[in-house]
Amino acid sequence: MTYQQAINELKQISQKIENESLELDQIQEMLSRADELTKICKSFLKEVSKKLDDFQENQILG
């Protein structure tokens, strides 16, 4: 899954929760999935941040 796919799915979940009449169990499942997607996004961002730091360090030292 790409970062953008995770973000898009998070947006869909948010819209469904806001705009649809859902059972509590459905909301709980969606929130669990949103938590998984958030972790995926954080992982991507952390990885990009590290790569950027490494790149900047190489530019300074290189």
28 residue type, one letter: Q
Count of C-beta atoms within a 10 Å radius of residue 6: 20
The answer to pTM > 0.75 is: yes
Express each pLDDT in 45-56 by its tens digit.
999 999 999 999
Check if the beta carbon of residue 6 is closer than 8 Å to that of residue 40.
yes
Structure tokens given for 31:
């929130």
Express each pLDDT in 5-39 by its tens digit.
999 999 999 999 999 999 999 999 999 999 999 99
Structure tokens given for 53:
């730091």
Domain locations along the chain: 3-61
Q: Check residue 15 and give its pLDDT.
A: 97
Alpha helices in 1-62 (DSSP H): 3-19, 24-61
